[in-house]
């Protein structure tokens, strides 16, 4: 017993020392937020849907790194491919050809919609968007972009300039000029904003950070028609929706749309490696890279380790038909969340989303925060959406089991009941 107490004290001291280093050397505000949100522990290992913490507890990952862990944590096929590559050559000299990059680009061309044939590789979603914006300007000779209110495309200067929330743009202004923001899901608004200097319209097929807002059927295809007529490009940002998350391989498959440029990241790294990819048409390739193949580059982009992870992740996604699993498991999760909504109509206003990209909207932001905290104490990770903190999102691995879904729904229901009781007592 004494030994146990000593051990517990040692673990707590260890956790506190890491938290303190975050406070001193990483980001004091973030450190406070994580602790306050019920995440004052260390993640030490993970497998499938489960993360093990330094305190000895485990939790189910229903945030899934905002869509990173579609094939699960440490998927054996991805880990093995990466280990194999690590023992041979992890990074490129950038002087020679590297095979994993060629194979991954070929596979992306095979599965991407329409004639998206060429891929520029980078290391993150924001970089994939940066490349898309630059390719659009260079290949059209035009400068303006149309994006949507609530959109999230990243936080580098270019991607931030098309991110639809003033709060994140304003402190860093002036932005890259030329972006008009229009309401999401309004093709009329895009029609009104398009002109002869529009290089591209950039859209998510489900606004993730905007609060899990799916495109209404017909919206993306109508924007496709409008952009084509205006001589502008359509960039579809599939960084969060791509590779099965919404129940189709790509979100734009729901509307049968072929964009000119598509961005991928998150799940493409198989939950093991960071990677970004911008996939585009031969015409864009010619116009952008024709004269100078080095016009846009990235030192680490297309490295062997990341591409080996990407290949293994794609092969697993196709072999296991993860899009279908997202539909089936998504239905179970949505039904479960809806039954919680029916028990708490005063706290919750809507359950929405596609596949395993689901969001629950709360009437009041405080209840959402308390619920996330209560779920964490019950061993389930959830998170709010960055541009709409009233929405809790659920994006577990697409490999999640029925039992894990039921556990998460139960934790969600209990955490809401507790939050409502607490607020009732305060009132
Ligand atoms: C749709 C979308 N685009 C771009 C990004 C930026 O990706 P990253 O954080 O890897 O830069 C995100 C991140 O959440 C995203 O959801």
C-beta of 126 in contact with ligand 1 (< 6 A): yes
Quick one: the chain helix, strand, coil %, rounded to 5?
Answer: 45, 20, 35
C-beta of 204 in contact with ligand 1 (< 6 A): yes
Q: What confidence score (pLDDT) does residue 5 get?
A: 86
Q: What confidence score (pLDDT) does residue 422 get?
A: 87
Residue 178 is encoded by which pair of tokens? 């030329």
List, for residues 8-54, the tens digit of each pLDDT value.
999 999 999 999 999 999 999 999 989 888 899 999 999 999 999 99
Residue 399 has pLDDT above 80, yes or no: yes
Mean pLDDT, range 122-140, rounded to an integer: 98
What distance in angstroms lies between residue 125's CA and the mean position of ligand 1's atoms? 4
Secondary structure of 191-256 in HEC code, one letter for each residue: HHHCCCCEEEEEEECEECCCCCEECCCCHHHHHHHHHHHHCCEEEEECCCCCCCCCCCCCHHHHHC
Q: Measure the CA–CA gap between 188 and 308, rounded to whole angstroms.
A: 43
Kindly state the DSSP code that residue 25 receives in the 8-state scheme.
Answer: I
Q: Is the peptide bond before 366 cis (omega within 30 degrees of 0)?
A: no
Q: What confidence score (pLDDT) does residue 104 get?
A: 98
Contact 249, 314 (CB under 8 A): no
Residue 2 has pLDDT above 60, yes or no: no
**Residues sharing a CB contact under 8 Å with residue 88, sequence separation 6 or more, in sequence order:** 304
Q: What confidence score (pLDDT) does residue 3 get?
A: 56
For 69-162, list the strands marked E by DSSP: 118-122, 144-148
Distances (CA, A) of 222 to 149, 153, 185: 18, 21, 10
Contact 371, 362 (CB under 8 A): yes
List, for residues 91-121, the tens digit of each pLDDT value.
999 999 999 999 999 999 999 999 999 999 9
Mean pLDDT, range 253-262, rounded to an integer: 98
Q: Measure the CA–CA gap between 402 and 298, rounded to whole angstroms.
A: 41
**Percent of the chain, pLDDT > 70?**
99
Place 386 in a pLDDT band, splitting at 50, 70 and 90: confident
Domain boundaries, the chain: 1-35, 37-67+321-426, 76-319
The correct answer on CATH 3.40.640.10 for the domain covering 76-319 is yes
Name the region of 190 (left: φ>0; alpha: ψ -120 to 50; beta: rest): alpha
| Closest alpha carbon to 241 in 346, 331, 330 | 330
**Ligand 1 mutation target, pool 264, 266, 395, most atoms within 8 A of CB:** 266
Place 67 in a pLDDT band, splitting at 50, 70 and 90: very high
Mean pLDDT, range 150-174, rounded to an integer: 96
C-beta of 265 in contact with ligand 1 (< 6 A): yes
For residue 127, the ligand 1 atom closest to its alpha carbon is 11
C-beta of 387 in contact with ligand 1 (< 6 A): no
**Percent of the chain, pLDDT > 90?**
92
Mean pLDDT, range 122-147, rounded to an integer: 98
What distance in angstroms lies between residue 425's CA and the mean position of ligand 1's atoms? 39
CATH T-level assignment (fold) for domain 37-67+321-426: 3.90.1150
What is the chain's mean pLDDT, rounded? 96
Q: What confidence score (pLDDT) does residue 310 get?
A: 98
C-beta of 66 in contact with ligand 1 (< 6 A): yes
């Amino acid at each position: 017993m004494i030994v146990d107490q000593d051990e517990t004290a040692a673990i707590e001291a260890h956790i506190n020392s890491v938290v303190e280093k975050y406070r001193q050397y990483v980001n004091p505000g973030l450190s406070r937020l994580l602790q306050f949100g019920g995440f004052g522990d260390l993640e030490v290992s993970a497998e499938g849907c489960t993360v093990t913490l330094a305190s000895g507890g485990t939790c189910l990952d229903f945030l899934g790194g905002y869509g990173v862990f579609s094939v699960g944590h440490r998927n054996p096929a991805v880990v093995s491919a990466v280990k194999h590559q690590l023992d041979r050559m992890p990074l490129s000299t950038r002087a020679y050809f590297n095979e994993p990059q060629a194979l991954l680009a070929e596979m992306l061309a095979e599965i991407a919609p329409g004639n998206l044939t060429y891929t520029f590789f980078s290391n993150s979603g924001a970089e994939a968007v940066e490349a898309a914006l630059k390719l659009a300007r260079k290949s059209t000779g035009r400068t303006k972009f149309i994006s949507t209110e609530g959109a999230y495309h990243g936080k580098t200067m270019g991607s931030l300039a098309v991110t639809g929330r003033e709060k994140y743009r304003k402190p860093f202004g002036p932005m890259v000029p030329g972006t008009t923001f229009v309401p999401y899901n309004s093709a009329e608004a895009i029609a009104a904003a398009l002109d002869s200097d529009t290089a591209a319209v950039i859209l998510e097929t489900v606004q993730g950070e905007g609060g899990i807002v799916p495109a209404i059927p017909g919206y993306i295809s109508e924007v496709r028609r409008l952009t084509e007529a205006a001589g502008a490009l359509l960039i579809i940002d599939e960084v969060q929706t791509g590779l099965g998350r919404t129940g189709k391989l790509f979100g734009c498959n729901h509307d049968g749309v072929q964009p000119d440029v598509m961005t991928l990241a998150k799940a493409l790294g198989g939950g093991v490696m960071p990677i970004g990819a911008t996939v585009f048409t031969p015409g864009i390739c010619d116009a952008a890279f024709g004269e100078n193949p080095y016009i846009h580059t990235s030192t680490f982009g297309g490295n062997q380790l990341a591409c080996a992870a990407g290949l293994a992740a794609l092969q697993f996604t196709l072999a296991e038909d993860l899009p279908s699993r997202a539909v089936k498991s998504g239905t179970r999760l949505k039904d479960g969340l809806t039954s919680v909504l029916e028990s708490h109509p005063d706290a919750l206003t809507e359950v929405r989303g596609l596949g395993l990209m689901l969001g629950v909207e709360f009437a009041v932001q405080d209840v959402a925060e308390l619920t996330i905290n209560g779920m964490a104490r019950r061993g389930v990770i959830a998170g709010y959406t960055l541009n709409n903190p009233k929405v809790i999102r659920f994006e577990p691995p697409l490999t999640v089991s029925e039992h894990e879904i039921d556990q998460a729904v139960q934790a969600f229901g209990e955490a809401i009941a507790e939050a409502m009781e607490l607020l009732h007592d305060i009132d």
